[in-house]
Amino acid sequence: MKPVRSVERAISILFLVVQSDRPMGLSEISRTIGLDKATSLRLLSTLAQAKLVQQDSITRHYMPGANISRLYNSWRSDLRHISRPYLEVLLREVQESVCLVCPRGTERVTIDALAASHELCVIPAIGSATPIYAGASGQVLMAHMPESERERIIKATNLRPVIPSRAIDRKSYVEQLKKVRDEGFAYSIGDVTPGSSAISAPVFDADANIVATIVVRGPQTRLMEKELIKMAPHVMKAANDISHELGYGQLQKAAIS
């Protein structure tokens, strides 16, 4: 039976977008697939209507859509499953809300969260999105991504603050990212949600790519700088344990041996 050419092309585009490690623009997609822009745009529009792809709200680049998870068990589901025991241990240790956050284009998304038992606690809704550069987890994600991707995001977003009164100076921000890489964690107070604090550490996969961050969040009245820094070893250990489960460091050890 002769294959349907338009379906073949749509599948090729879908595979390209899903397998890419970053959102892709229309020109790049059409050039890679070998189609003109008009045809690529029509196919992308069809895929977008089915929520198999979606556009980043700022860059207009394409990334996997919400319905991709209905076609296969996404890595995020696996990541939640792997991470949950470590999040539970961390929750018991620090007695504050614990979250798992993943990058998505120019955003970061909460994919799992465990609430603290305090009457006053800070817990984001699962699925809630925030600019990828903002807050503690944003600094961690930006610090460990490839420099070219970091510069692309800075240029596309101009580091617009989530809270208007908390303007972000680009030079100081980039210098702060160097410190985050060196120390292995980042913390913030009132950068995203007034009156709340957070501390975060990176989760890496087997290829040493940052795929998520572990975040502890709580009210500023309980978590000032001193308390956040005391939590850092616990947060980093949880992130390192999850990274190990994902194979981080094992390829390097195998190469050395």
Q: What is the pLDDT of residues 125-180, one digit of tens each?
A: 888 889 999 999 999 999 999 998 899 899 888 998 888 878 889 999 999 999 99
Of 157, 132, 227, 159, the closest CA to residue 189 belongs to 227
CB 108 within 8 A of CB 129: yes
pLDDT higher than threshold 80 for residue 21? no
Same domain, 129 and 248: yes
Q: What is the pLDDT of residues 225-255, one digit of tens each?
A: 999 999 999 999 999 999 999 888 765 454 4
pTM of model > 0.85: no
Same domain, 62 and 89: no
Report which secondary-structure segment, H or E, holds 141.
Answer: helix 135-144
Measured in degrees and rounded to the nearest 5, phi and psi for residue 203 equal -115, 130
Distance between CA 12 and CA 150 in Å, rounded?
A: 28
73 pLDDT tier (thresholds 50, 70, 90):
very low
Residue 24's domain spans which residues? 5-70
CB 39 within 8 A of CB 6: no
Of 6, 2, 66, the closest CA to residue 40 belongs to 6
Distance between CA 235 and CA 200 in Å, rounded?
A: 7
Burial (CB < 10 A; 0-12, 13-18, 19+), residue 187, is: buried
Same domain, 39 and 130: no
CB 26 within 8 A of CB 44: yes
Cβ atoms < 10 Å from Cβ of 147: 7
| CATH assignment of the domain containing 28 | 1.10.10.10
Q: At which of 26, 48, 70 does a domain end?
A: 70
Domain count, the chain: 2
